[in-house]
Structure 1
Amino acid sequence: MRILIVDDDPLVRQSLKLLLEKESDIEVNGLAADGLEAIEQCDTDLPDVVLMDIRMPNMDGIESTKQLKSKWPKLLIMMLTTFKDEQNIRLALQAGAAGYLLKSTPIENMAQQIRALMTGGSVLDADVLKQIMEPEVNSKLDDLTDRENDIAAAIAQGLSNKEVADQLFLSVGTVRNTLSVILDKLELRDRTQLAIYYWKRDNKAKD
């Protein structure tokens, strides 16, 4: 898989490049110092995944994510940042980011999370997830059928459609179609928002 690393710190860019390229299935095909450069590089050579910092000069990661997703809706963008405040997390996910990891994540785990993203999984650091859980959630999950709830629970664990299908003995097409129904019922945009919604409900139930 081909990755574009976007960060205003040249040391961070080079370090991530060296570490990630030790993985046999990862190729870093571009480095960008800000959100504008990220868009320019994607225009020239579109990667599979963008690792995007948030706070950068000229154009920040959130605005860049919005523009990239507008041009290439299927492009996978993972926010990789030192910041885990709730506002940044929510803005990044609303902009279309498919994952949100902290720079403190061990490189081995980061590579695994990138692979999970590529196979359709949702990626949220555990510390990040805690930041966006709210104590009160008016859950519509109770309106889902048993099968829909099973699929929602599996997706909330970060499983891809194929992994969900294997676990629940369903076809990938059934999982994909049911996921569309679930998102429509819950008025959510994608599987990442579904994972957040599910874990908010679960967190409330434990309180």
Structure 2
Amino acid sequence: MKILIVDDDPLVCQSLRLLLSREPDMEVIATANDGTAAIECCERTPPDIILMDIRMPGVDGIQATRQIKQNWPKVRIMMLTTFQDEHNIRMALLAGAEGYMLKSTKVSSMAQQLRALSSGSSVVDVNVLKTLMLSEKKNRSDLTPRENDILELVALGCSNREIAEQLFISEGTLRNTLSIILDKLELRDRTQLAIYYWKRSL
């Protein structure tokens, strides 16, 4: 299993390289300190798996993941990060990452998860899954059934008039309800509402 480690902290790269190289079925073929360098490594020798940090200067891990998956779709990407917030998790998975692991993971467990990723499984840390589930539960409970209906119709591209007709309400009532939904979800406009809906549907 050929592995590329991408992290802007040289110490993290060196430590992971040393520890993973002890695994008999793993070979760290290169390290990179940002997304641009990771892409250049893939151009030279595409790895089987990339351990990818998220926050890096220049091209970050999410941008690099998106570009790498477009050009080398068979490369499996495991995000390795300290960030456990919903936004980073969803953005990484949307970019094409097949795994999301925290840096606090023990090396023995990390090796097992990399093997699972290599075999074709998607791997998401249990604590990350809890973050997603708690966020999903909170977001669903924030909206009433009628507000969820409106959100879905907005995401499907319906106009205010079409939504009002389908739900048998006035356009004025609809506009007021849309403002309430935007306030609850802390979003700016219909476009962000649609993006929120489709991300939530992952």
Do they fold alike, i.e. is TM over 0.5? yes
TM-score, length-scaled by structure 1:
0.66
Structure 2 letter corresponding to 1:110: M
- Counterpart position of 1:121: 121
Instruction: From the CA coordinates, give the structure whose radius of gyration is larger.
Output: 2
- Counterpart position of 2:87: 87
| 1:118-197 aligned within 5 A | 118-133=118-133, 134-135=136-137, 136=140
- Counterpart position of 1:43: 43
Return the alpha-carbon distance in structure 1 between the equivalents of residues 69 and 46 of structure 2. 12
Equivalent residues of 2:80, 2:100 under 8 A apart: yes
Unaligned 5+ residue runs, structure 2?
A: 146-198
Return the alpha-carbon distance in structure 1 between the equivalents of residues 67 and 54 of structure 2. 14
Return the alpha-carbon distance in structure 1 between the equivalents of residues 64 and 121 of structure 2. 22
By how many angstroms is 1:109 displaced? 0.2
Return the alpha-carbon distance in structure 2 between the equivalents of residues 73 and 48 of structure 1. 11
Secondary structure of the structure 1 residue equivalent to 2:67: helix
By how many angstroms is 1:58 displaced? 1.3
By how many angstroms is 1:106 displaced? 0.1
Return the alpha-carbon distance in structure 1 between the equivalents of residues 18 and 106 of structure 2. 14
TM-score, length-scaled by structure 2:
0.67
Structure 1 letter corresponding to 2:32: A
Return the alpha-carbon distance in structure 2 between the equivalents of residues 63 and 40 of structure 1. 14
Please report the RMSD computed on the Cα atoms of aligned residues, expressed in angstroms.
1.8
Give CA-to-partner distance per residue, 1:8-60, whole Å, 9 cap, x none: 00000000000001100000001000000000000001100000000001110
Give CA-to-partner distance per residue, 1:127-154, whole Å, 9 cap, x none: 100111112499xxxxxxxxxxxxxxxx
Structure 2 letter corresponding to 1:31: T
Equivalent residues of 2:46, 2:72 under 8 A apart: no
Number of matched pairs: 141
Moved over 3 A (4+): none
Unaligned 5+ residue runs, structure 1?
A: 139-192, 198-207
Secondary structure of the structure 1 residue equivalent to 2:114: helix
Structure 2 letter corresponding to 1:28: V
Secondary structure of the structure 1 residue equivalent to 2:39: helix
Return the alpha-carbon distance in structure 2 between the equivalents of residues 42 and 121 of structure 1. 22
